[in-house]
């Protein structure tokens, strides 16, 4: 499932044998160690699906599976972009800002109820370009001004949000372009077009990660930036490209979100950052970088989506749903990463 990158940090045996880490380490080794762990997110997903299906057979109804795919479309597209950034050991907090800029651009340029524009699919293109540009700027700010990605993208988040609030005048603007709304409403082989777009985004991300130099360089930087640099990787170029690539995916997600909701307002991205980071991490991509990948993220997104769906199907009270979500995140991460090998936990 995942590509195996041997960690560059070596850990002495003495460190391994503290009581806290000894037991889980042993259990993991008994079941095949690394191999088992890399499959842990998939196992969590399968067990989750089985449990929910037993409790409420409606879960495996075709209609529900389609709905699941539909609600996973936007988070999946977002998480594809975020995966590359987290793989580098950086973080992109501009998810919500970039998404709202892209949704704002598409709504204001396509037919809407606020101005007379009607550029059709050019609006979609412009929105994706806007998203990519936001990411590109994040990358430049990080590499040229040498500002940590956390702060650089935090800034871009609020710049994007402010831009959308200003352009939309604080209100919700309706998207009236029927052909763009088709993304959410029309179906091909029983699945909404948004799901196909998200699938396309996943395939594209997979190709970039596993079959291009950029993908390998991103992993190398996440593994150890100094070593990557010494091996001749142009770190600045890879970083800027990766942020622009993330912005590209956020841009697509913005268009999908606007198409699904049929409107755009500045807060259209609210809560998406948390969901995307959760999905990436639950899928088994390490926040420290260098480990994991887009396939992990696909599983992570499905876990998060299935869990949200399942909690409603099981009738879990909304007052404790967040608690359950929090427990799931900790459980999934605890299972999926080999904590024993971590020297430092920050």
Partner 1 sequence: MKDRTGLTLSGAVSRRTLMMGATAGMAALAMPKVLRAQEKPTLVTSIRSLSNPYHAVWKTGAEAYAKWAGLEHVTLVSEGNSEKGIADIKAMLAKTGGNMVLNSDPNDTPDARPIVEACAKAGAYVVTQWNKPADLHPKDFNPNYVSHIEFDGIASGKTIAEILFKTIGGKGGIVALGGLISTTAAIERKKGLDAALAANPDIKLLDFQVANWKSTEAFDLMGNLLTRFGDDIKGIWAANDDMGSGALEALRAENLAGKVPIVGVDGIKTAVDAVRTGEFACTVTSDPFWQGGMGLAIGYNAKIGKFDPVKEPPEHREFYGKAVLISHDNVEEYYKTNVDAKPEIDWNDLWGRVTGAIRT
Q: Residue 102 interacts with partner 1 (CB under 8 A)? A: no
- Give the CB-side neighbour count of residue 129, counting CA atoms within 13 A: 7
* First-to-final CA distance of the chain: 27
Q: Residue 170 interacts with partner 1 (CB under 8 A)? A: yes
Q: Residue 339 interacts with partner 1 (CB under 8 A)? A: no
* Residues 16/346, Cβ–Cβ less than 8 Å: no
Name which of 84, 92, 166 is nearest 134 in CA terms. 92
User: In Å, how far from its chain's centre is CA 63?
Assistant: 25
- Nearer Cβ to partner 1, position 66 or 129? 66
Structure token digits, residue 179: 């052909």
Name which of 123, 81, 132 is nearest 103 in CA terms. 123
Q: Residue 319 interacts with partner 1 (CB under 8 A)? A: yes
Q: Residue 161 interacts with partner 1 (CB under 8 A)? A: no
**Minimum distance, C-beta of residue 148 to partner 1, in the bound complex (Å):** 28
Helix or strand run (H / E) with residue 212: none
User: In Å, how far from its chain's centre is CA 122?
Assistant: 26
The window from 82-90, 213-221, 232-240, 310-318 that contacts partner 1 (CB under 8 A) reads 310-318
Measure Cα distances from 276 to 198, 282, 298 in Å. 14, 10, 11
Structure token digits, residue 291: 């480990």
Name which of 304, 246, 257, 308 is nearest 279 in CA terms. 304
**Minimum distance, C-beta of residue 266 to partner 1, in the bound complex (Å):** 8
89 — phi, psi (to 5°)?
A: 85, 5
Select the residue interacting with partner 1 from 203, 312, 327, 330 (CB under 8 A).
312
Q: Which of residues 141-160 bind partner 1 (CB under 8 A)?
A: none
Structure token digits, residue 156: 């871009």
Size of the site for partner 1 (CB under 8 A): 38
Give strand ranges (E) for 85-208. Answer: 173-174, 187-188, 191-192
The window from 58-66, 115-123, 247-255, 277-285 that contacts partner 1 (CB under 8 A) reads 58-66
Q: Residue 271 interacts with partner 1 (CB under 8 A)? A: yes
**Minimum distance, C-beta of residue 19 to partner 1, in the bound complex (Å):** 41
Q: Residue 172 interacts with partner 1 (CB under 8 A)? A: yes
Q: Residue 193 interacts with partner 1 (CB under 8 A)? A: no
Select the residue interacting with partner 1 from 315, 344, 345, 346 (CB under 8 A).
315
Select the residue interacting with partner 1 from 263, 278, 296, 297 (CB under 8 A).
263
Structure token digits, residue 153: 């993208």
Q: Residue 63 interacts with partner 1 (CB under 8 A)? A: yes
Q: Residue 64 interacts with partner 1 (CB under 8 A)? A: yes
**Minimum distance, C-beta of residue 243 to partner 1, in the bound complex (Å):** 24
Q: Residue 58 interacts with partner 1 (CB under 8 A)? A: yes
* Residues 1/294, Cβ–Cβ less than 8 Å: no
* Interface residue list for partner 1 (CB under 8 A): 56, 58-59, 61, 63-64, 67, 70-71, 113, 165-166, 169-172, 174, 184-185, 192, 257, 260-263, 265, 267-268, 270-272, 308-309, 312-313, 315, 318-319
């Amino acid at each position: 499932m995942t590509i195996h990158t041997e960690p560059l940090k070596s850990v002495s045996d003495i460190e391994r044998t503290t009581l806290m880490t000894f037991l889980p380490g042993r259990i993991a080794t008994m079941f095949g160690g690394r191999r088992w762990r890399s499959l842990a997110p998939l196992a969590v997903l399968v067990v989750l699906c089985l449990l929910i299906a037993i409790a409420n057979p409606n879960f495996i109804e075709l209609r529900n599976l389609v709905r699941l795919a539909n609600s996973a479309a936007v988070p999946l597209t977002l998480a594809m972009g975020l995966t590359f950034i987290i793989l580098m050991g950086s973080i992109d907090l501009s998810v919500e800002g970039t998404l709202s800029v892209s949704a704002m651009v598409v709504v204001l340029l396509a037919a809407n109820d606020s101005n007379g524009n009607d550029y059709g699919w050019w609006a979609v293109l412009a929105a994706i370009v806007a998203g990519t540009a936001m990411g590109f700027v994040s990358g430049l700010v990080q590499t040229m001004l040498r500002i940590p990605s956390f702060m650089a993208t935090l800034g871009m988040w609020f710049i994007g949000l402010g831009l959308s609030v200003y352009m939309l005048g604080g209100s919700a603007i309706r998207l009236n372009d029927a052909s763009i709304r088709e993304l959410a409403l029309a179906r091909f082989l029983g699945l909404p077009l948004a799901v196909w777009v998200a699938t396309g985004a996943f395939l594209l991300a997979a190709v970039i990660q596993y079959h291009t130099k950029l993908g390998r360089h991103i992993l190398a930087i996440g593994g150890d930036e100094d070593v990557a640099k010494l091996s001749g990787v142009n770190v600045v170029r890879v970083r800027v490209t990766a942020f622009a690539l993330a912005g590209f995916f956020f841009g697509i997600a913005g268009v999908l979100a606007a198409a699904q909701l049929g409107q755009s307002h500045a807060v259209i991205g609210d809560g998406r950052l948390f969901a995307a980071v959760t999905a990436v991490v639950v899928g088994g991509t390490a926040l420290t970088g260098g480990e994991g990948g887009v396939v992990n993220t696909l599983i992570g997104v499905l876990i998060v989506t299935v869990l949200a769906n399942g909690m409603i199907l099981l009738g879990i009270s909304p007052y404790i749903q967040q608690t359950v979500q929090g427990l799931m995140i900790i459980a999934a991460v605890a299972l999926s990463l080999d904590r024993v090998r971590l020297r430092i936990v920050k």
